[in-house]
Amino acid sequence: MPTESQKLQIIVKDRSPSTQIKYRGQLARIQCLLGGDIELATWGQILYVLNQVPNPHTRHSYINIIALVRPDLKRDTIALRNENRILVHDHVARTNSLRKPPPFQELLRRRDQAYDQGRWAVYLVQALTIHLGVRTKDLEMEISDVDRQDTTKNHLIRRPGKIELIRNRYKTVKTYRPQRHSIMDPRIVHAANQLPAGPFTTRIVNCHPDRTGEADYFRAQIEHLVAHDPRVLQKIQSLCQTRGSSWEQVVTNYNLRMDATL
């Protein structure tokens, strides 16, 4: 008789190895909270345990695992997931509102300093984060001079006088589909040409000092646009498109209060 973990392994066999490991860990934690297998628990017991989980993001992950191993509870898990999604949005907005990112001009200064010092990897990550509003993980990519048509990875293709950033793997790709960005900024092109071809990972360099995350870059840039740029609506819409997000999500997640006359 297969264990619940083995059954889950069969269900998610087509997922990546890292995802399978993550799912098994989440299943083990849910079982620990329940004091046994999910398939032996009543919906009331499951609901009681989930209500003890304070973080809505963690609760969302647990709901997904429960939905996988208990298809008989599909209606209940769908309803709970929808209810929890509101809590997730509120949590994100509250967390972002508490963040105090450096002024946008400071982020531009750091970017320019990295270029002047020849720290090409750091400059490239900071410049693309600002230029496109992308998440740092989007820049885990393969640098090459030839488009290999490999849709399993992100790619930076170096062309004469420009680069092409191809994002096949990013957070919201299922909604916004793979994106291809053609960039002719001479400094970005120069920095890309100084780096060796092959895998590029943001984990090997301190791309964002002082624990400044890509969300801080995005928030700082949006706040700067709202305060200083007369074309704020068009520019935020453009950033939403390249990031792979929506206007509504940005306004909600970053708790923007914008003048109705903009």
- Answer whether residue 260 shows pLDDT above 50: no
Q: What percent of the chain has pLDDT over 70?
A: 91
Length of the chain: 262
Q: Is the pLDDT of residue 116 over 80?
A: yes
Lowest mean pLDDT among 27-36, 117-126, 230-239: 230-239
Mean pLDDT throughout 133-147?
Answer: 92
Are the beta carbons of 188 and 195 closer than 8 angstroms? no
Cβ pair 142, 156 in contact under 8 A: yes
Distances (CA, A) of 205 to 121, 157, 175, 191: 7, 21, 30, 15
Residue type, position 83, single letter: E
Sheet containing 154-159, strands listed edge to edge, beginning at the edge strand earlier in sequence: 179-183, 162-167, 154-159, 141-144, 198-200
Amino acid type, 195: L
User: How confident is the model at residue 69, as a pLDDT?
Assistant: 95
pLDDT for the residue numbered 259: 45
Rounded average pLDDT over 142-149: 91
Q: What is the 3-state secondary structure (H, E, C) of 113-176?
A: HHHHCCCHHHHHHHHHHHHHCCCHHHHCEEEECCCCCCCCCEEEEEECCEEEEEECCCCCHHHH
* Angle at alpha carbon of residue 78, lines to 76 and 83, rounded to 5°: 95
Mean pLDDT over each residue of the chain, to the nearest integer:
88
Of 25-39, 140-154, 243-257, least confident by mean pLDDT is 243-257
Q: Is the pLDDT of residue 262 over 50?
A: no
Confidence label for 261 from pLDDT (cuts 50, 70 and 90): very low
Q: What letter would DSSP give residue 58? A: H
Query: Mind listing the pLDDT tens digit for each residue in 161-196?
Result: 999 999 999 989 989 999 999 999 999 999 999 999
Parse the chain into domains and list their residue ranges: 4-98, 104-253
Q: Could you report the per-residue pLDDT of 54-112, keeping only the tens digit for each?
A: 999 999 999 999 999 999 999 999 999 999 988 887 777 777 666 678 899 999 999 99
- For residue 215, what pLDDT band results from cuts at 50, 70 and 90? confident
Confidence of residue 250 (pLDDT cuts 50, 70, 90): confident
CB count within 10 Å of CB 181 equals 15
**The predicted structure's pLDDT at residue 212:** 76
Would you say 39 and 70 are in contact if contact means Cβ atoms under 8 Å apart?
yes
**Which pLDDT band, with edges at 50, 70 and 90, does 213 fall under?**
confident
Contact by Cβ (8 Å): 72, 41:
no
